[in-house]
A and B are shown apart, each in its own frame.
Chain A
Amino acid sequence: MTSARIEVEHLGYRYAAGGAPALDDVSFSVGQGEFVSIVGPSGSGKTTLLRCVAGLAAPTSGEVRIDGVVVRDVPPGLALVFQDYGRSLFGWMTVHDNVDLPLRRRALSGEERQRRVASALAEVGLAGSAARYPWELSGGMQQRVAIARAVAYAPQILLMDEPFASVDAQTRSDLQDMALSVWRAHGSTVLFVTHDIDESVYLADRVVVLSPAPATVAAEIAVDLPRPRDQVETRAMPAFVTQRAAVARLIRRPGVGTP
């Protein structure tokens, strides 16, 4: 395996002291440049896990390390696309300004910022919507703005929380391929949360399966499929079918078949 970029070690999290834990004991790691999917039933703690990795929530037990350093606050060069993307956009800013905002802190020339915003919007297919406001856009377009904002930031580590959960099937395929091309172009490390088994296998190098709450890692499955992936070809491969079945079986009956 490549050198570990993100290490999650015996991570536990409780929202209320003495309450039921959302995360019990989660351990896994992600290599430099790897694309890892996390699947788990709804309410299993996927969002909580990403918040801990992003440094937005402090673990109750265990720790998260990025490049060997324990995460205590948001690490530089990390971006998170929230599950509730629509509400994470700023309604008082145009699409352009939403994408530009994170660049203000980076020592970039105005020209370079302009170029990055334009190319990020082009990558997600929103070049023509820069001057519009988020509330003028459909859900799928808002999601692409949130992704463009993360892409323009050029994060070394990109976390995405069920980013395509609420878009129609066609848009979803397009966004999946866009996510892959962004990942390939930027060489970033991606942690991608989803509850869609097909999606988790289609995108990733590796799938981490969480048990129902409180989460532990039920299994890790290496995805053995050639890249670049293709919506038709890849999904038709026998290996795709077996691997998605393996993930599905684990989600139904976690613990069974754990290596």
Chain B
Amino acid sequence: MNALGGLALRLSVLAALLATWQLMAVIVADPVFWPTFTDVGAHLASSWIANPTRLAEHLLPSVARLLAGWGAAAVAGIAVGVLIGLSRRARDYVNPIIGFLRAIPPPALLPLFIVLLGIGDGMKVAMIGFGVVWPIIFNTVDGVRSVNPLHTETGRLYGLGAADRLLRIVLPAAGPGIFAGLRISLSIAVILMVISELYAATNGVGFQLVQAQRGFRTLDVWATILLLGILGYALNAMLELVEGRALRWHRGAMRTVA
């Protein structure tokens, strides 16, 4: 009942927003720069969703770059985060370096990456990966350091091997932190994917956005922005689904404490 009411409320807010857009566009009556929501939606459907060639040539490479960069950052970030989290010495050496590197705004690296890596997929994947790895590292370190000492001692007491201690104690205990990092980094990955495709690209959603703007196809600009919004939303929803399953125990345990 409550959840249903909440959903209805959220949907009605969304509906109100779209209705306002629609109304404004009708009042402004400038279909070139201020298309109505229904026009944008229809264009999105016909020019993107019902267009397998465009999806395959532009959406697919974008998603592939995004997932490759984010996935590599996830693997590297969790591995580095666990190492740093478990070793005080590693923390002492590595923390200042990481603190500096993550302060660099990733888009600023684009020119450098183009010089070093060219304008291919590798450069884009590297830029996305570099940009999103920091929140994963930091949140993994936090998660690992928050492992309950009694759990660590229980592992020691019962003579668990290093693999068991890592896979069955440290990683699950750090799970909530790791997923927090993955969620933050996923939204950054979408941003960096678009930026990396605005320049020096021959395909991708970001590239299509610039092409539409250069060709004064405003309706297509609007539709492509909407597509990016939907993409980000869908990726996040999928991650939350995985997180919900992996951390079911955590929510249960939290509820009990509360």
Contact = CB atoms under 8 A, between A and B. Distances in A.
Chains A and B are bound partners: yes
Interface of A: 54, 56, 74, 76, 78-80, 82, 84, 87-88, 90-93, 101-102, 104-105, 133-136, 153
Indicate the member of B159, B169, B250, B255 with the most A CB atoms within 10 Å. Answer: B159
Contact of A135 (B148, B160, B256): B256
Interface stretch (B35-43, B149-157, B210-218): B149-157
A56 B249 contact: no
A88 B153 CA distance: 9
A101 B160 contact: yes
A91 B250 contact: yes
Contact of A56 (B148, B156, B168, B169): B156
A135 B252 contact: yes
Contacts, number: 64
Contacts of A135: 249, 252-253, 255-256
Contact of B168 (A54, A74, A101): A101
Contact of B159 (A80, A92, A105): A105
Interface of B: 148, 150-151, 153-154, 156-161, 164, 168-169, 172-173, 175, 249-250, 252-253, 255-256
A64 to B, nearest CB: 15
B157 A54 contact: yes
Contacts of B160: 101-102, 104-105
Given A93-B168, A105-B160, 17 more contacts: A54-B157, A76-B159, A78-B157, A79-B157, A87-B148, A87-B151, A88-B153, A90-B154, A91-B253, A92-B249, A101-B158, A101-B168, A102-B160, A105-B158, A105-B159, A134-B253, A136-B252
Nearest to B171: A92
Contacts of A88: 150-151, 153-154
Given A92-B249, A153-B158, A104 B164 contact: yes
Contacts of A82: 150, 153-154
Indicate the member of B158, B168, B252 with the most A CB atoms within 10 Å. Answer: B158
Contact of A90 (B157, B172, B252): B172
Contact of A84 (B150, B173, B175): B150
A133 B168 contact: no
Indicate the member of A76, A135, A153 with the most B CB atoms within 10 Å. Answer: A135
Contacts of B256: 135-136
Nearest to B172: A92
Top 10 nearest A-B pairs by Cβ distance?
A102-B158, A135-B253, A92-B172, A135-B256, A92-B249, A91-B253, A88-B150, A105-B159, A91-B249, A87-B150
A90 B253 CA distance: 10
Contact of A74 (B159, B161, B164, B169): B159
16 contacts: A56-B153, A56-B156, A78-B157, A84-B150, A87-B151, A88-B153, A90-B168, A91-B249, A91-B253, A92-B175, A92-B250, A101-B164, A102-B159, A105-B158, A105-B161, A133-B252
A101 B165 CA distance: 10
A74 to B, nearest CB: 5
Contact of B158 (A79, A87, A92, A93): A79
A56 B155 CA distance: 11
A91 B169 CA distance: 10
Nearest to B252: A135
A79 B154 CA distance: 9
B159 to A, nearest CB: 5
Contacts of A91: 249-250, 252-253
A80 B148 contact: no
Contacts of A101: 158, 160, 164, 168
A93 B168 CA distance: 9
Contacts of B154: 82, 88, 90
Given A91-B249, A91-B250, A105-B161, A74 B156 contact: yes
B155 to A, nearest CB: 8
A88 B173 CA distance: 12
B151 A90 contact: yes
A127 B173 CA distance: 26
A134 to B, nearest CB: 8
Given A90-B172, A92-B175, A74 B150 contact: no
